[in-house]
C-alpha cells in the first residue's frame, strides 16, 4: 500500500478527477458539441452570404458567446450533480469508506469537471477557428487575441464549476442550479454593480460595495467584444484575471470542503 | 486486540421544519468484536443496523461516543485501507464496467499498480463475474451488482470486512455463494461484521450475534451456546398408521403434525418414556427422538420483545461488556 502522504493524496485526486471526466464523456456530455457545430457552421454560412466586411466580427462574437453559454450550461448542470448524485445513488459510500478524505473527493470532482470543460472548450474553439477560416479564408495576427478570450472563458468555467460545487455541497440540485446561474448573471453585471456602489452612500452604499466585491466579476473576464474588434488584451489583465479566478475558485472550493466535511451522508 | 470496539456510540438527527427536535437513531451502543470473528448484527428494518455501519465508516458523525477499529480511532485515515465495506443495496458508477470499477477502487485503496490488474481479474473470478467483466454496470442485475459489491469490499485484502445485508437481492444459489465467501474470509483469519435480518444465514455463519431494535442493543450472544440450550421438550418422529395420531399421545400433551405417512410430535421431556410406551403398544415404528433446542429465532424474538430499558445493559455495565466480548449472558 502507498504511504498516506501528499503524493498519495494527489494520486487519489487524480483518480477521482479521471473517473469524473470519464463519466461525463460516457454520459454523452460532449454531445453538446454537435449542437454547437451545427449552430456555428450554419451561422458562418449565413454570415458569409449576408455580411460585408464584418464577417470576422460576427463570427468571433457569435462563436465566443456560444462557447461561453454552452460551457456554463454544462458546468452548472454537471457541477450541481457532482456531489448530490453520488449521495443519492450512494456511490459515495464505497469511495469514502476507502482511504479517501472528503476534501480529496471534492477537489478531485472539481478537477474532473474542469478537465471535461477544457476538452469541451478545445473542440468548440476549433469550431470557431474553422468558421473564421471559412469566412475570412485566412488567419490574422489579431486572431491570437481570440485565444486569450477563450482562456478567460475557461477561467469563467473554473469559477462556475467551483460555485456549482459549493452550492451543491449543502443544497438541492435545483436550488444549486438557480443560485449558480443567478450568480453568473449578476457576475456579468459586476462592473455595473460597482458603479452603483460608488454613487450610493450610507448603508446602501456599503451593501452595494460588499455585493459588488462578493459576486464573481465575470464582466472582467468577458473580452469577447474587444477581441471581435481586433483590440489587444493587456498582459496585466491576463495576470489579474488568472489570479482572481484562481483565488475565487479556491475560496468557493474551500467553502464546499468545509461544509462537506461536516455533512452526514443519509 | 479487539477488531471493533464501540464505546457508547450514539446518533440522533434533528427533525422537523420550524421546531427542530432530536430523533434518536441509535442509543448509546457498547459492543466489542474480536479479531477473526464472524459477527452478525441482527435486527428488523429500521432497527439502527445501517446507522451503526455508517457511523463506523465515517459516513455520518456520532452525536456522542466513539469507536476503535483495529486499534485505530474510526476517523483515522490509516484504518481505511484495512477495512472493506459493502453498503446495503449497493449502486455503483453505471458508466463503468465491473473491471474498470474494481480497478478504480483498487487505485483509491492504494493497491499497487503492479499486480492490480491481476488482482482485479482474480476477484472477478472469485465472485463469478469473469464473463461479464467488460459489461457496463448499468446492464447488471441486482444479484450481479451485489457480487460486484462483495468484490470491491475485499479487493484490497482488508483485515476487517463490513457487510450490510450481503444476501439482499440474491437468489438461493447467490446466497449460498456469499455464505461460502464469508466462510472463506473466516478461514483467512479476517473479521467479518455483517448486518442481516435473515436469521438462518446468521445461524449458519456467525460466531456471535447482537440483536438491535429501535436503535437499542437488546442482547449479544454466542450462536453455539444460544442454539444448544434445551427447551425441556422432545420431538419424536414415527411412521403413522392410517395417517392418524394415537389419542394416548395427545393426552400426554403432544403437539403433533402429520406429514405423509410420518408424524412429528413435540411433547414435554418428562413424558418421553410414556410416549415411547404408547408407540410400542400401538406397534408404531420410531424414526427419531431428539431434544428440542432453542434456535436463534427464539433468541431473536425474545430480544425483540424485551421491554425497553430491560436490556442486557441493565444487568450491569461490566457484565454487558464482558458478555459482548465472550458470549451469552443476556
The verdict on A28 touching B (C-beta cutoff 8 Å) is no
CA dist A169 → A172, B22, B108, B157 (Å): 9, 23, 22, 32
How many CB pairs (< 8 A) connect A and B? 89
Task: Check if the beta carbon of residue A59 is closer than 8 Å to that of residue A44.
Answer: yes
Residue A210 has pLDDT above 90, yes or no: no
**For the segment A6-41, what is each residue's pLDDT rounded down to a tens digit?**
788 999 999 999 999 998 888 777 777 777 777 777
- Asked if residue A207 belongs to a domain, the reply is yes
Least confident residue range of A140-144, A166-170, B35-39: A140-144
| Interchain CB distance below 8 Å, A99 and B152 | no
Partner residue opposite A97 with nearest CB, options B83, B92, B112: B83
- Asked if residue A206 belongs to a domain, the reply is yes
Between positions 65 and 124 of B, the ones with CB within 8 A of A are 77-78, 80-81, 83-85, 87, 89-93, 95-96, 104-105, 107-112
Distance CA B128, CA B176 (A): 13
Residue B316 banded pLDDT, cuts 50, 70, 90 = very low
Nearest CA in chain A to B86: A94
User: What is the average pLDDT value for chain B, to the nearest integer?
Assistant: 86
- B79-104: buried (b, 16+ CB within 10 Å) or exposed (e) per residue? bbbbbbbbbbebebbbbbbbbbbbbb
**For the segment A145-178, what is each residue's pLDDT rounded down to a tens digit?**
999 999 999 999 999 999 999 999 888 889 999 9
What is the domain range of residue A160? 6-261
A34 exposure class (CB count in 10 Å sphere: 0-12, 13-18, 19+): exposed
Please give the residue that has the higher pLDDT: either B304 or B47. Answer: B47
- Asked if residue A266 belongs to a domain, the reply is no
Domains in chain A, number? 1
Full set of structural domains in chain B with CATH: 2-82+158-226+297-326 (3.40.50.300), 230-293 (3.30.70.980)
Distance CA A80, CA B186 (A): 43
Residue A208 has pLDDT above 60, yes or no: yes
Look up the ipTM and state it.
Answer: 0.86
Q: Where are the beta strands (DSSP E) in B55-167?
A: 64-69, 72-73, 83-86, 160-164
- Asked if residue A72 belongs to a domain, the reply is yes
Q: What are phi and psi of A222, to 5 degrees?
A: -110, 105
Amino acid at each position: 500500500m502507498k504511504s498516506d502522504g501528499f503524493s498519495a493524496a494527489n494520486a487519489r485526486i487524480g483518480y477521482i478527477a479521471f473517473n469524473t471526466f470519464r463519466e461525463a464523456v460516457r454520459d454523452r456530455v460532449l454531445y453538446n458539441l454537435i449542437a454547437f457545430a451545427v449552430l456555428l457552421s450554419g451561422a458562418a454560412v449565413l454570415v458569409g452570404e449576408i455580411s460585408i466586411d464584418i464577417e470576422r466580427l460576427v463570427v468571433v462574437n457569435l462563436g465566443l458567446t456560444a462557447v461561453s453559454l454552452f460551457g456554463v450550461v454544462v458546468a452548472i448542470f454537471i457541477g450541481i450533480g457532482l456531489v448530490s448524485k453520488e449521495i443519492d445513488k450512494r456511490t459515495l459510500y464505497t469511495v469514502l469508506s476507502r482511504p479517501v478524505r472528503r476534501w480529496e473527493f471534492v477537489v478531485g470532482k472539481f478537477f474532473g469537471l474542469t478537465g471535461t470543460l477544457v476538452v469541451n472548450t478545445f473542440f468548440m474553439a476549433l469550431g470557431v477557428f474553422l468558421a473564421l477560416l471559412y469566412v475570412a479564408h485566412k488567419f490574422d495576427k489579431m486572431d491570437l487575441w481570440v485565444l486569450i478570450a477563450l482562456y478567460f472563458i475557461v477561467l469563467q468555467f473554473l469559477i462556475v464549476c467551483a460555485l456549482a460545487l459549493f452550492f451543491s455541497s449543502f443544497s438541492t440540485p435545483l436550488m444549486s442550479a438557480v443560485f449558480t446561474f443567478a450568480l453568473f448573471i449578476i457576475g456579468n453585471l459586476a462592473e455595473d454593480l460597482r458603479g452603483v456602489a460608488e454613487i450610493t452612500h450610507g448603508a446602501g452604499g456599503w451593501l452595494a460595495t460588499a455585493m459588488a466585491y462578493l459576486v464573481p466579476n465575470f464582466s472582467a473576464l468577458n473580452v469577447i467584444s474587444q477581441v471581435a474588434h481586433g483590440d489587444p488584451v493587456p498582459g496585466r489583465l491576463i495576470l489579474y484575471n488568472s489570479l482572481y479566478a484562481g483565488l475565487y475558485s479556491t475560496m468557493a472550493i474551500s467553502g464546499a470542503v468545509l461544509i462537506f466535511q461536516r455533512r452526514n451522508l443519509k | 486486540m479487539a477488531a471493533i470496539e464501540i464505546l457508547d456510540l450514539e446518533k440522533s438527527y434533528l427533525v422537523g421544519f420550524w421546531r427542530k427536535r432530536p430523533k434518536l437513531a441509535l442509543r448509546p451502543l457498547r459492543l466489542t468484536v474480536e479479531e477473526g470473528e464472524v459477527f452478525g448484527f441482527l435486527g428488523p428494518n429500521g432497527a439502527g443496523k445501517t446507522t451503526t455501519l455508517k457511523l463506523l465508516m465515517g459516513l455520518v458523525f456520532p452525536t456522542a461516543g466513539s469507536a476503535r477499529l483495529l486499534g485505530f480511532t474510526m476517523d483515522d485515515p490509516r484504518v481505511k485501507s484495512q477495512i472493506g465495506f459493502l453498503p446495503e443495496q449497493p449502486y455503483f458508477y453505471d458508466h463503468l464496467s465491473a473491471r474498470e470499477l474494481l480497478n478504480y477502487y483498487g487505485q483509491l485503496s492504494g493497491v499497487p499498480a503492479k499486480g492490480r490488474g491481476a488482482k482485479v481479474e482474480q476477484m472477478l473470478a472469485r465472485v463469478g463475474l469473469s464473463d461479464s467483466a467488460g459489461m457496463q454496470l448499468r446492464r447488471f442485475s441486482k444479484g450481479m451488482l451485489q457480487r460486484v459489491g462483495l468484490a470491491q469490499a475485499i479487493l484490497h485484502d482488508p483485515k476487517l470486512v463490513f457487510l450490510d445485508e450481503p444476501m439482499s437481492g440474491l437468489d438461493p444459489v447467490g446466497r449460498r455463494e456469499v455464505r461460502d465467501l464469508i466462510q472463506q474470509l473466516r478461514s483467512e483469519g479476517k473479521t467479518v461484521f455483517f448486518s442481516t435480518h435473515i436469521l438462518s444465514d446468521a445461524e449458519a455463519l456467525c460466531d456471535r450475534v447482537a440483536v438491535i431494535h429501535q436503535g437499542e442493543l437488546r442482547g449479544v450472544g454466542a450462536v453455539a451456546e444460544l442454539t444448544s440450550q434445551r427447551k425441556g421438550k422432545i420431538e419424536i418422529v414415527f411412521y403413522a398408521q392410517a395417517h392418524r395420531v394415537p389419542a394416548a399421545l395427545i393426552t400426554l400433551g403432544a403437539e403433533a403434525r402429520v406429514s405423509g405417512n410420518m408424524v412429528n410430535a413435540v411433547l414435554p421431556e418428562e413424558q418421553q418414556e410414556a410416549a415411547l410406551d404408547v408407540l410400542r403398544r400401538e406397534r408404531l415404528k420410531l424414526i427419531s427422538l431428539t431434544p428440542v433446542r432453542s434456535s436463534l429465532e427464539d433468541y431473536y424474538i425474545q430480544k425483540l420483545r424485551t421491554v425497553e430499558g430491560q436490556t442486557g445493559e441493565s444487568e450491569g455495565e461490566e457484565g454487558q461488556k464482558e458478555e459482548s466480548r465472550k458470549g451469552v449472558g443476556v
